[in-house]
Amino acid sequence: MSEATESAATGRRTVLRAALAVGAANLAPPFILSARGEQPVLIGLDNPLTGTYAAVGKNELTGCELAISQINAKGGILGRPVELRVEDSTSGDAGTAVQKARKLIERDKVDFLLGNVNSALALAMAQVSNEKGILHIVPGGHTDAITGATCHWNVFRVCNATQMEANAAAQQLVEKAGRKWYYITPDYAFGHTLQAALEKAADRVGATKAGADLSPLGTTDFSSYLIKAQAAKPDVILFLVQGDDMINALKQAVQFGLDKRLHLAGAQQELESLEGLPPEARIGAWVFEWYWKQPGVPHVAEFVEAIRKKTGKVPTARTWFGFVSTWSCALAAAGAKSLDAVKMAKALGGMKLPPEVGLTPDPAFYRAEDHQLIASLYIGNAQAGGADPEDLFNVSHVMRGIDAAGRVEDSPCKLVWPS
Protein backbone atom coordinates (compact mmCIF):
# COMPACT_ATOMS: atom_id res chain seq x y z
CA MET A 1 0.00 0.00 0.00
CA SER A 2 1.39 3.41 -0.96
CA GLU A 3 1.85 6.09 1.67
CA ALA A 4 -0.95 8.17 0.09
CA THR A 5 -3.33 5.18 -0.04
CA GLU A 6 -2.51 4.25 3.54
CA SER A 7 -3.16 7.85 4.64
CA ALA A 8 -6.54 7.91 2.88
CA ALA A 9 -7.56 4.59 4.43
CA THR A 10 -6.55 5.84 7.85
CA GLY A 11 -8.63 8.95 7.31
CA ARG A 12 -11.69 6.95 6.36
CA ARG A 13 -11.32 4.79 9.47
CA THR A 14 -10.96 7.85 11.67
CA VAL A 15 -14.15 9.37 10.28
CA LEU A 16 -16.02 6.07 10.75
CA ARG A 17 -14.86 5.75 14.35
CA ALA A 18 -15.82 9.33 15.10
CA ALA A 19 -19.30 8.92 13.64
CA LEU A 20 -19.83 5.73 15.61
CA ALA A 21 -18.70 7.33 18.84
CA VAL A 22 -21.21 10.16 18.44
CA GLY A 23 -24.16 7.84 17.73
CA ALA A 24 -23.42 5.07 20.26
CA ALA A 25 -25.25 4.73 23.56
CA ASN A 26 -23.24 4.67 26.77
CA LEU A 27 -23.08 0.89 27.07
CA ALA A 28 -19.91 -0.16 28.85
CA PRO A 29 -17.40 -1.38 27.92
CA PRO A 30 -16.82 0.53 24.66
CA PHE A 31 -16.54 -1.25 21.34
CA ILE A 32 -14.69 0.28 18.36
CA LEU A 33 -15.34 -0.54 14.71
CA SER A 34 -12.23 -1.25 12.67
CA ALA A 35 -11.59 -1.28 8.95
CA ARG A 36 -14.23 -2.58 6.56
CA GLY A 37 -13.60 -6.19 5.51
CA GLU A 38 -12.38 -7.35 8.93
CA GLN A 39 -12.86 -11.09 9.55
CA PRO A 40 -16.16 -11.44 11.47
CA VAL A 41 -16.47 -12.88 14.95
CA LEU A 42 -18.87 -15.82 14.80
CA ILE A 43 -21.42 -16.78 17.45
CA GLY A 44 -23.05 -20.19 17.03
CA LEU A 45 -26.58 -20.83 18.33
CA ASP A 46 -27.56 -24.52 18.67
CA ASN A 47 -31.16 -24.38 19.89
CA PRO A 48 -34.62 -25.84 19.15
CA LEU A 49 -36.50 -24.28 16.26
CA THR A 50 -38.88 -27.25 15.86
CA GLY A 51 -40.78 -29.47 18.28
CA THR A 52 -42.08 -28.91 21.81
CA TYR A 53 -39.70 -26.04 22.55
CA ALA A 54 -39.83 -24.31 19.16
CA ALA A 55 -41.62 -21.20 20.44
CA VAL A 56 -39.20 -20.54 23.29
CA GLY A 57 -36.23 -21.39 21.09
CA LYS A 58 -37.33 -18.91 18.45
CA ASN A 59 -37.75 -16.19 21.08
CA GLU A 60 -34.21 -16.81 22.31
CA LEU A 61 -33.10 -16.40 18.70
CA THR A 62 -34.93 -13.06 18.53
CA GLY A 63 -33.04 -11.85 21.60
CA CYS A 64 -29.76 -12.96 20.05
CA GLU A 65 -30.52 -11.07 16.85
CA LEU A 66 -31.31 -7.83 18.68
CA ALA A 67 -28.07 -8.11 20.66
CA ILE A 68 -26.07 -8.74 17.47
CA SER A 69 -27.49 -5.60 15.88
CA GLN A 70 -26.65 -3.53 18.98
CA ILE A 71 -23.15 -4.95 19.28
CA ASN A 72 -22.40 -4.25 15.62
CA ALA A 73 -23.81 -0.72 15.94
CA LYS A 74 -21.23 -0.15 18.68
CA GLY A 75 -18.32 -1.51 16.68
CA GLY A 76 -18.59 -5.26 16.99
CA ILE A 77 -16.36 -7.45 19.16
CA LEU A 78 -12.77 -6.27 19.47
CA GLY A 79 -13.30 -4.07 16.45
CA ARG A 80 -14.65 -6.88 14.28
CA PRO A 81 -18.22 -7.33 13.00
CA VAL A 82 -20.29 -10.09 14.57
CA GLU A 83 -22.31 -12.72 12.74
CA LEU A 84 -24.72 -15.36 14.07
CA ARG A 85 -24.72 -18.95 12.83
CA VAL A 86 -27.91 -20.84 13.72
CA GLU A 87 -28.62 -24.58 13.86
CA ASP A 88 -31.85 -26.36 14.83
CA SER A 89 -30.97 -28.78 17.62
CA THR A 90 -34.56 -30.10 17.66
CA SER A 91 -36.34 -30.08 21.03
CA GLY A 92 -35.20 -33.43 22.39
CA ASP A 93 -32.54 -35.21 20.33
CA ALA A 94 -29.18 -35.01 22.13
CA GLY A 95 -27.39 -36.68 19.21
CA THR A 96 -28.56 -33.98 16.82
CA ALA A 97 -27.64 -31.20 19.27
CA VAL A 98 -24.12 -32.61 19.68
CA GLN A 99 -23.71 -33.06 15.91
CA LYS A 100 -24.79 -29.45 15.32
CA ALA A 101 -22.46 -28.20 18.08
CA ARG A 102 -19.51 -29.99 16.46
CA LYS A 103 -20.45 -28.56 13.05
CA LEU A 104 -20.55 -25.02 14.43
CA ILE A 105 -17.20 -25.40 16.19
CA GLU A 106 -15.22 -27.55 13.73
CA ARG A 107 -16.58 -26.53 10.33
CA ASP A 108 -18.01 -23.04 10.86
CA LYS A 109 -15.19 -22.09 13.29
CA VAL A 110 -17.46 -20.14 15.64
CA ASP A 111 -15.79 -18.21 18.44
CA PHE A 112 -18.67 -18.74 20.91
CA LEU A 113 -21.35 -21.40 21.39
CA LEU A 114 -24.88 -20.70 22.69
CA GLY A 115 -27.55 -23.26 23.68
CA ASN A 116 -29.71 -25.12 24.73
CA VAL A 117 -33.31 -24.75 25.91
CA ASN A 118 -33.45 -28.48 26.72
CA SER A 119 -31.32 -29.21 29.81
CA ALA A 120 -30.25 -32.66 28.63
CA LEU A 121 -29.11 -31.19 25.32
CA ALA A 122 -27.32 -28.35 27.09
CA LEU A 123 -25.40 -30.88 29.22
CA ALA A 124 -24.42 -32.87 26.13
CA MET A 125 -23.32 -29.71 24.31
CA ALA A 126 -21.27 -28.65 27.34
CA GLN A 127 -19.19 -31.80 27.03
CA VAL A 128 -18.38 -30.85 23.43
CA SER A 129 -17.62 -27.18 24.17
CA ASN A 130 -15.37 -28.16 27.07
CA GLU A 131 -13.53 -30.69 24.92
CA LYS A 132 -13.00 -28.02 22.26
CA GLY A 133 -12.16 -25.26 24.75
CA ILE A 134 -14.75 -22.75 23.50
CA LEU A 135 -16.72 -20.27 25.61
CA HIS A 136 -20.27 -21.59 25.95
CA ILE A 137 -23.29 -19.67 27.26
CA VAL A 138 -26.40 -21.69 28.15
CA PRO A 139 -29.38 -19.34 27.71
CA GLY A 140 -32.24 -21.49 28.94
CA GLY A 141 -31.31 -25.00 30.17
CA HIS A 142 -32.21 -25.11 33.87
CA THR A 143 -31.01 -28.40 35.36
CA ASP A 144 -28.80 -27.82 38.41
CA ALA A 145 -25.86 -29.82 37.09
CA ILE A 146 -24.94 -27.23 34.42
CA THR A 147 -23.56 -24.89 37.08
CA GLY A 148 -23.44 -27.61 39.72
CA ALA A 149 -22.01 -31.11 39.80
CA THR A 150 -20.91 -31.14 36.13
CA CYS A 151 -19.91 -27.48 35.81
CA HIS A 152 -17.09 -26.52 33.43
CA TRP A 153 -14.68 -23.59 33.38
CA ASN A 154 -15.92 -22.56 29.91
CA VAL A 155 -19.70 -22.83 30.54
CA PHE A 156 -21.93 -20.03 31.88
CA ARG A 157 -25.68 -20.07 32.41
CA VAL A 158 -28.20 -17.20 32.11
CA CYS A 159 -31.46 -18.84 33.27
CA ASN A 160 -31.98 -20.02 36.84
CA ALA A 161 -30.96 -23.38 38.21
CA THR A 162 -33.93 -25.55 39.13
CA GLN A 163 -33.15 -25.27 42.86
CA MET A 164 -33.36 -21.46 42.55
CA GLU A 165 -36.82 -21.76 41.00
CA ALA A 166 -37.98 -24.19 43.67
CA ASN A 167 -36.71 -21.94 46.45
CA ALA A 168 -38.58 -18.99 44.94
CA ALA A 169 -41.83 -20.90 44.41
CA ALA A 170 -42.20 -22.99 47.57
CA GLN A 171 -43.55 -20.45 50.06
CA GLN A 172 -46.03 -19.00 47.58
CA LEU A 173 -47.34 -22.49 46.75
CA VAL A 174 -48.03 -23.20 50.42
CA GLU A 175 -49.72 -19.86 50.95
CA LYS A 176 -51.85 -19.86 47.79
CA ALA A 177 -52.38 -23.53 46.99
CA GLY A 178 -51.84 -25.80 49.99
CA ARG A 179 -49.42 -28.34 51.43
CA LYS A 180 -50.27 -31.57 49.56
CA TRP A 181 -48.50 -31.49 46.20
CA TYR A 182 -48.92 -33.79 43.20
CA TYR A 183 -46.23 -33.49 40.51
CA ILE A 184 -46.62 -33.88 36.73
CA THR A 185 -43.01 -33.85 35.61
CA PRO A 186 -41.27 -34.01 32.22
CA ASP A 187 -39.18 -37.16 32.02
CA TYR A 188 -35.71 -35.73 31.42
CA ALA A 189 -32.98 -33.83 33.25
CA PHE A 190 -34.88 -30.56 33.78
CA GLY A 191 -37.99 -32.21 35.17
CA HIS A 192 -36.11 -34.63 37.39
CA THR A 193 -34.04 -31.92 39.04
CA LEU A 194 -36.94 -29.45 39.34
CA GLN A 195 -39.10 -32.03 41.12
CA ALA A 196 -36.18 -33.01 43.39
CA ALA A 197 -35.59 -29.33 44.17
CA LEU A 198 -39.26 -28.78 45.00
CA GLU A 199 -39.33 -31.84 47.24
CA LYS A 200 -36.31 -30.44 49.07
CA ALA A 201 -37.96 -27.04 49.38
CA ALA A 202 -41.22 -28.72 50.50
CA ASP A 203 -39.51 -30.05 53.61
CA ARG A 204 -38.58 -26.51 54.56
CA VAL A 205 -42.12 -25.13 54.21
CA GLY A 206 -43.99 -28.15 55.58
CA ALA A 207 -45.44 -29.49 52.31
CA THR A 208 -45.85 -33.17 51.46
CA LYS A 209 -45.88 -35.25 48.28
CA ALA A 210 -49.26 -36.69 47.34
CA GLY A 211 -47.91 -38.42 44.24
CA ALA A 212 -46.05 -37.89 40.99
CA ASP A 213 -45.97 -38.90 37.33
CA LEU A 214 -43.26 -38.62 34.68
CA SER A 215 -44.52 -37.61 31.23
CA PRO A 216 -42.47 -38.03 28.04
CA LEU A 217 -41.44 -34.87 26.23
CA GLY A 218 -44.02 -34.09 23.56
CA THR A 219 -47.00 -35.64 25.37
CA THR A 220 -50.30 -34.46 23.89
CA ASP A 221 -52.81 -36.40 26.01
CA PHE A 222 -52.46 -35.79 29.76
CA SER A 223 -55.80 -37.38 30.74
CA SER A 224 -54.30 -40.44 32.45
CA TYR A 225 -51.99 -38.27 34.55
CA LEU A 226 -54.81 -35.91 35.49
CA ILE A 227 -57.10 -38.77 36.54
CA LYS A 228 -54.37 -40.21 38.79
CA ALA A 229 -53.63 -36.77 40.22
CA GLN A 230 -57.29 -36.14 41.06
CA ALA A 231 -57.58 -39.56 42.73
CA ALA A 232 -54.67 -38.70 45.03
CA LYS A 233 -56.72 -35.78 46.42
CA PRO A 234 -53.92 -33.22 46.58
CA ASP A 235 -54.33 -29.55 47.39
CA VAL A 236 -52.50 -28.65 44.19
CA ILE A 237 -51.25 -30.24 40.99
CA LEU A 238 -47.80 -28.92 40.19
CA PHE A 239 -47.25 -28.73 36.44
CA LEU A 240 -43.51 -28.90 35.82
CA VAL A 241 -43.81 -29.54 32.07
CA GLN A 242 -42.94 -26.73 29.68
CA GLY A 243 -43.55 -25.51 26.14
CA ASP A 244 -46.35 -27.19 24.20
CA ASP A 245 -46.63 -29.77 27.00
CA MET A 246 -47.59 -27.05 29.50
CA ILE A 247 -50.24 -25.73 27.12
CA ASN A 248 -51.75 -29.18 26.56
CA ALA A 249 -51.67 -30.15 30.24
CA LEU A 250 -53.25 -26.97 31.64
CA LYS A 251 -55.84 -26.76 28.86
CA GLN A 252 -56.98 -30.34 29.50
CA ALA A 253 -57.00 -29.85 33.29
CA VAL A 254 -59.39 -26.91 32.91
CA GLN A 255 -61.52 -28.83 30.40
CA PHE A 256 -61.87 -31.59 33.01
CA GLY A 257 -62.93 -28.99 35.58
CA LEU A 258 -60.00 -29.71 37.91
CA ASP A 259 -59.51 -25.99 38.52
CA LYS A 260 -62.90 -25.97 40.26
CA ARG A 261 -61.86 -28.71 42.71
CA LEU A 262 -58.19 -28.02 43.45
CA HIS A 263 -55.35 -25.64 42.61
CA LEU A 264 -53.33 -25.79 39.39
CA ALA A 265 -49.89 -24.21 39.78
CA GLY A 266 -46.17 -24.89 39.58
CA ALA A 267 -42.71 -23.35 39.66
CA GLN A 268 -41.42 -22.02 36.32
CA GLN A 269 -43.95 -20.48 33.95
CA GLU A 270 -43.37 -18.95 30.51
CA LEU A 271 -45.19 -16.15 28.72
CA GLU A 272 -45.13 -18.31 25.57
CA SER A 273 -47.28 -20.91 27.36
CA LEU A 274 -49.72 -18.36 28.75
CA GLU A 275 -50.11 -16.86 25.28
CA GLY A 276 -50.99 -20.31 23.95
CA LEU A 277 -53.68 -20.93 26.57
CA PRO A 278 -57.34 -19.84 26.51
CA PRO A 279 -58.02 -17.06 29.05
CA GLU A 280 -59.77 -19.43 31.48
CA ALA A 281 -56.62 -21.56 31.72
CA ARG A 282 -54.31 -18.66 32.56
CA ILE A 283 -54.37 -19.44 36.25
CA GLY A 284 -52.08 -20.52 39.06
CA ALA A 285 -49.15 -19.36 41.16
CA TRP A 286 -45.79 -19.37 39.36
CA VAL A 287 -42.29 -17.91 39.06
CA PHE A 288 -41.18 -15.93 36.02
CA GLU A 289 -37.45 -15.52 35.36
CA TRP A 290 -37.91 -12.14 33.69
CA TYR A 291 -40.99 -10.08 32.90
CA TRP A 292 -41.51 -7.29 30.43
CA LYS A 293 -43.60 -5.06 32.70
CA GLN A 294 -41.16 -3.52 35.18
CA PRO A 295 -42.11 0.08 35.95
CA GLY A 296 -39.15 2.19 36.98
CA VAL A 297 -36.43 -0.28 36.02
CA PRO A 298 -34.00 1.55 33.69
CA HIS A 299 -33.83 0.53 30.01
CA VAL A 300 -36.60 -2.09 30.19
CA ALA A 301 -39.06 0.11 28.26
CA GLU A 302 -36.51 0.64 25.47
CA PHE A 303 -35.87 -3.12 25.26
CA VAL A 304 -39.60 -3.85 25.12
CA GLU A 305 -40.08 -1.24 22.39
CA ALA A 306 -37.17 -2.64 20.34
CA ILE A 307 -38.61 -6.16 20.46
CA ARG A 308 -42.15 -4.95 19.73
CA LYS A 309 -40.81 -3.11 16.70
CA LYS A 310 -39.02 -6.27 15.56
CA THR A 311 -41.75 -8.86 16.23
CA GLY A 312 -44.99 -7.03 17.00
CA LYS A 313 -45.06 -8.64 20.47
CA VAL A 314 -43.54 -8.01 23.89
CA PRO A 315 -40.32 -9.82 24.83
CA THR A 316 -40.47 -12.90 27.03
CA ALA A 317 -37.94 -14.27 29.49
CA ARG A 318 -36.61 -16.34 26.58
CA THR A 319 -36.04 -13.20 24.51
CA TRP A 320 -34.08 -11.81 27.45
CA PHE A 321 -32.08 -15.06 27.79
CA GLY A 322 -30.93 -14.83 24.18
CA PHE A 323 -30.19 -11.11 24.48
CA VAL A 324 -28.11 -11.51 27.64
CA SER A 325 -26.29 -14.59 26.33
CA THR A 326 -25.15 -12.81 23.17
CA TRP A 327 -24.14 -9.64 24.97
CA SER A 328 -22.19 -11.80 27.44
CA CYS A 329 -19.95 -12.91 24.57
CA ALA A 330 -19.12 -9.30 23.70
CA LEU A 331 -18.61 -8.33 27.33
CA ALA A 332 -16.32 -11.30 27.96
CA ALA A 333 -14.15 -10.45 24.94
CA ALA A 334 -14.01 -6.77 25.89
CA GLY A 335 -13.10 -7.64 29.49
CA ALA A 336 -10.35 -10.02 28.38
CA LYS A 337 -9.27 -7.85 25.40
CA SER A 338 -8.97 -11.20 23.66
CA LEU A 339 -10.90 -14.06 22.08
CA ASP A 340 -8.92 -16.56 24.11
CA ALA A 341 -11.56 -18.69 25.84
CA VAL A 342 -9.74 -19.02 29.16
CA LYS A 343 -9.10 -15.28 29.39
CA MET A 344 -12.73 -14.53 28.50
CA ALA A 345 -14.06 -16.99 31.07
CA LYS A 346 -11.87 -15.42 33.75
CA ALA A 347 -13.15 -11.97 32.76
CA LEU A 348 -16.83 -13.00 32.73
CA GLY A 349 -16.72 -14.77 36.10
CA GLY A 350 -17.83 -12.24 38.71
CA MET A 351 -18.81 -9.66 36.07
CA LYS A 352 -21.82 -7.44 36.78
CA LEU A 353 -23.92 -6.85 33.67
CA PRO A 354 -24.46 -3.25 32.57
CA PRO A 355 -28.04 -2.15 33.34
CA GLU A 356 -28.76 -1.89 29.60
CA VAL A 357 -28.16 -5.64 29.39
CA GLY A 358 -29.24 -6.86 32.83
CA LEU A 359 -32.67 -5.18 32.70
CA THR A 360 -33.55 -6.22 36.27
CA PRO A 361 -34.24 -4.36 39.55
CA ASP A 362 -31.22 -5.94 41.25
CA PRO A 363 -27.91 -5.85 39.35
CA ALA A 364 -27.36 -9.15 37.53
CA PHE A 365 -23.93 -10.77 37.78
CA TYR A 366 -22.17 -14.03 36.99
CA ARG A 367 -21.06 -15.80 40.14
CA ALA A 368 -17.34 -16.49 39.75
CA GLU A 369 -17.41 -19.78 41.63
CA ASP A 370 -19.95 -21.61 39.42
CA HIS A 371 -20.70 -19.27 36.46
CA GLN A 372 -24.40 -19.00 37.33
CA LEU A 373 -26.07 -15.68 36.48
CA ILE A 374 -27.65 -14.25 39.62
CA ALA A 375 -30.65 -12.09 38.70
CA SER A 376 -34.08 -11.16 40.03
CA LEU A 377 -36.97 -13.66 40.11
CA TYR A 378 -40.60 -12.57 39.63
CA ILE A 379 -43.18 -14.27 41.85
CA GLY A 380 -46.91 -14.00 41.25
CA ASN A 381 -49.90 -15.45 39.44
CA ALA A 382 -51.11 -15.89 35.89
CA GLN A 383 -54.00 -13.74 34.73
CA ALA A 384 -56.32 -13.70 31.73
CA GLY A 385 -55.09 -10.19 30.89
CA GLY A 386 -54.24 -6.86 32.45
CA ALA A 387 -54.53 -3.30 31.24
CA ASP A 388 -52.31 -4.39 28.35
CA PRO A 389 -53.62 -7.49 26.53
CA GLU A 390 -50.13 -9.00 26.71
CA ASP A 391 -49.90 -8.52 30.48
CA LEU A 392 -50.63 -12.13 31.46
CA PHE A 393 -48.73 -12.30 34.75
CA ASN A 394 -49.31 -10.33 37.92
CA VAL A 395 -46.02 -9.86 39.79
CA SER A 396 -46.74 -9.86 43.53
CA HIS A 397 -43.11 -9.44 44.53
CA VAL A 398 -39.57 -9.67 43.21
CA MET A 399 -37.03 -11.95 44.88
CA ARG A 400 -33.31 -11.27 44.84
CA GLY A 401 -31.43 -13.91 42.91
CA ILE A 402 -28.83 -14.26 45.64
CA ASP A 403 -31.59 -15.22 48.09
CA ALA A 404 -32.88 -17.95 45.77
CA ALA A 405 -29.43 -19.25 44.84
CA GLY A 406 -28.29 -20.31 48.29
CA ARG A 407 -24.73 -20.31 49.56
CA VAL A 408 -22.04 -20.83 46.97
CA GLU A 409 -20.15 -22.86 49.59
CA ASP A 410 -22.88 -25.49 49.33
CA SER A 411 -22.59 -25.81 45.55
CA PRO A 412 -21.11 -29.08 44.24
CA CYS A 413 -19.45 -27.12 41.41
CA LYS A 414 -15.66 -27.32 41.40
CA LEU A 415 -14.29 -25.49 38.38
CA VAL A 416 -11.19 -27.11 36.89
CA TRP A 417 -9.20 -24.76 34.69
CA PRO A 418 -6.78 -25.78 31.90
CA SER A 419 -3.20 -25.94 33.09
pLDDT reported for residue 387: 86
Determine the angle formed by the axes of helices 244-255 and 223-231, rounding to 10 degrees: 60
pTM (predicted TM-score): 0.90
Of 3.20.20.70, 2.60.40.1120, 3.40.50.2300, 1.10.760.10, the CATH number of 28-160+295-375 is: 3.40.50.2300
Q: Is the pLDDT of residue 243 over 80?
A: yes
Look at residue 20 in the predicted model and tell me its pLDDT: 32
Model confidence pLDDT, tens digit, residues 63-111 = 999 999 999 999 999 999 999 999 999 999 999 999 999 999 999 999 9
CATH 3.40.50.2300 residue spans of the chain = 28-160+295-375, 163-288+378-405
Average pLDDT over every residue of 339-352 = 98
Which pLDDT tens digit goes with each residue over 174-203? Answer: 999 999 999 999 999 999 999 999 999 999
- At 37, the pLDDT band (50, 70, 90 cuts) reads low
Query: Which of these ranges, 9-13, 40-44, 180-184, 255-259, has the smallest mean pLDDT?
Result: 9-13
Mean pLDDT of the chain: 92
Mean pLDDT along residues 382-405: 95
Q: Which CATH superfamily is domain 163-288+378-405 in?
A: Response regulator (3.40.50.2300)
